[in-house]
């Protein structure tokens, strides 16, 4: 089991790393070279840097994820591509992507995109809160055997 993190803009990297450390689980963070960091991380955290490009990190994650892994991403498209491959796929708020909710989430994303193209106003995501972070941590811990 590994935690795979879609690292571009993830607000729960440090939380996930702390949970992984408590449970002795390796972490793989896949991110664009644009987000290169000199920050020191523990030895059990591996970074995979990919080229610039809208879907470069997504394609890499799809190629490295394994059936026992837990993926953390806010990207609905990536979640849909990995549901059949990963043990669990989590949003940064702790919502678990499932075969039961992914179609509705992708439909919402599509409708929002069409509205923005038509210059209609749409709501952005709610600000990420400490409650979101705590819920994420609780859900992540519950998924680790």
Q: What's the pTM value of the predicted model, to 2 decimals? A: 0.85
Domains in the chain, ordered, with CATH? 3-143 (3.40.50)
> 29 in helix, strand or coil?
strand
Instruction: Flag the least confident range among 18-27, 104-113, 129-138.
Output: 104-113
Q: What is the pLDDT of residue 34?
A: 81
Burial profile 88-125: b = 16 or more Cβ within 10 angstroms, e = fewer: bbbbbbbbbbeeeebeebeeeeeeeeeeeeeeeeeeee
**pLDDT tens-digit map of 26-85:** 999 999 888 788 889 999 999 999 988 778 899 999 999 999 999 999 888 899 999 988
- Segment 72-122, tens digit of pLDDT: 998 888 999 999 888 899 999 999 999 888 877 878 877 777 777 787 776
Q: Is the distance from CB of 71 to CB of 90 less than 8 angstroms?
A: yes
Question: Looking up tokens 């509705």, which residue turns up?
Answer: 104
Can you list the positions of beta strands (E) in 37-113?
45-50, 70-72, 88-90, 96-97
């Amino acid at each position: 089991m590994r935690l795979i993190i879609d690292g571009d803009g993830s607000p729960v990297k440090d939380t996930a790393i702390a949970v992984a450390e408590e449970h002795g689980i390796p972490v793989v963070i896949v991110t664009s070279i644009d987000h290169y960091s000199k920050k020191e991380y523990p030895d059990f955290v591996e970074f995979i840097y990919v080229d610039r490009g809208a879907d470069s990190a997504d394609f890499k994650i799809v190629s490295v994820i394994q059936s026992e892994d837990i993926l953390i991403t806010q990207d609905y498209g990536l979640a849909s591509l990995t549901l059949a491959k990963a043990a669990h796929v989590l949003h940064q708020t702790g919502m678990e992507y499932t075969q039961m909710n992914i179609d509705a989430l992708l439909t919402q994303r599509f409708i929002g995109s069409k509205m923005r193209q038509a210059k209609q106003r749409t709501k952005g995501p709610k600000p990420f809160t400490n409650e979101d972070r705590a819920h994420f941590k609780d859900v992540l811990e519950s998924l680790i055997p």
